[in-house]
Amino acid sequence: MSPRLKIAVIGGGSSYTPELIEGFIRHYGTLPVTEIVLADIEEGFRKLSIVGELARRMVAKSGLPIEVKLTLDRRAALEGADYVSTQMRVGLLEARGWDETIPLKYGMIGQETTGPGGMMKGLRTIPVLLEICREMEELCPEAWLLNFTNPAGMVTEAIHKHSRIRSIGLCNSPIAAYKWLSALYSVPVERIECEFVGLNHLHWISRVTVDGEPKLAELLGGGDGYSANNVPQYEWNAGLIRGLGAIPSYYLKYYYLHREILEEQLAAAARGETRAETVKRLEDELFEIYRDPDLSEKPKQLEQRGGAYYSEAAVRLMNSLYNDTGDIQTLNAANQGILDFLPDDACIEVNCRVTRQGPIPLPVATVPPSVKGLIHAVKIYEQLTIEAAVNGDKERALLALAHHPLVTSINDAEKMLDEMLERNRRYLPRFFA
């Protein structure tokens, strides 16, 4: 009799769930999941019901003996779980709208994982994730927590520092890079190797080989590089790319093209076209598609969401942990001396060898000297934000903003922080105790 293997998905009503289910079906031969529990909150019941029924139709079509359960009882979902995946959004898309628009009033970029908006998402999210970890310590202490909830690196570091639960952060950006290179060179991703260095949503690709042949030099010739639907589409400055000697993550456009993106965000907000509003329209369309009782597969329209390829990252990681494969994946893990200018317990995004005991960060051959200062500044901001989230400390939050390169005035930042905290009052009880 095959062993029972239970997966709990917190935020199971997410529009990403069909991609996750597709991944479990595709990898069933090596990851024989017997039970998937999709858990959500009361406000997400409608979406959970719709996407849960689609998940059941997908499993029925596959013919595999996987049971899909839906629940609003998080503790029931966690009890006895082997792997827990988090894909939740505290405050729903309404709070994302605040993250994107309030900073614009103060002349600063509004984005859900970067800058002031990213900080607010962290302040809302970290206490909830730590609460989930406390429940896991009681109900499934040996489970792995795979965190896809943004800001993923910051959230994962908070879990490492304030919980006994084993947790790994992951992001779809590295897989997007491999997909881009695969299309560019017309080879399968298995023949490509990349070295990543940095933090979540703040990384650079410092080495690329195809069939062992170095390709980075020719890739630094200019052009857009890899990008995503949820990031403004600007071409990189060719001189910058050559000077860096590395390919920046598309999230670095918020730093290197600050003025252009701020102007675009202001214009989009004036038209009522923030990313939050775009995502809401996309999700409304997706859930209408999901309602079709004849649909029993992941629809192509899901790739329009910013998190495409999430299931590949999440299911591949579970598979590697379960089978002790030792393969290399780009993950958010504790530094452990890999970047000598950061603390050992800092969460970084680098290549790791995945074993049953967890990810082992691999030494980085090349850290472009010109990126160390930015990595260090953003890491200090992240660590201060974690302290602020755990303790409900407004002064720590303001200090975090003061260290972020996208914050242009501490006086404006203080007014902005007051407004954002007040708007998020119901999600931040520690700040208003």
Give tens-digit pLDDT for 243-267: 999 999 989 999 999 999 999 999 9
Cβ–Cβ under 8 Å, residues 116 and 420: yes
Q: Cβ contacts of residue 212 below 8 Å, gap of 6+? A: 193
Phi, psi of 309 (to 5 degrees): 80, 10
Per CATH, the number for 6-167 is 3.40.50.720
pLDDT recorded at residue 229: 53
Any catalytic annotation for residue 28?
Answer: no
Nearest to 318 by CA among 302, 305, 309, 329: 329
- What averages of pLDDT result for each successive group of 10 residues across the chain (433 residues)? 85 93 95 98 96 98 98 98 96 96 97 96 98 98 96 97 97 90 94 97 96 93 55 75 92 94 94 90 93 91 68 91 97 96 97 97 94 97 98 98 96 98 97 92
Burial readout 29-62 (b: 16 or more C-beta within 10 A, e: otherwise): eebbbebbbbbbeeebeebbebbbbbbbbbbeeb
List, for residues 261-286, the tens digit of each pLDDT value: 999 999 999 998 899 998 899 899 99
Cα distance between residue 341 and residue 145, in whole Å: 27
pLDDT recorded at residue 255: 96
Catalytic residue among 83, 226, 250, 251: 251
pLDDT recorded at residue 70: 98
Cα distance between residue 321 and residue 296, in whole Å: 29
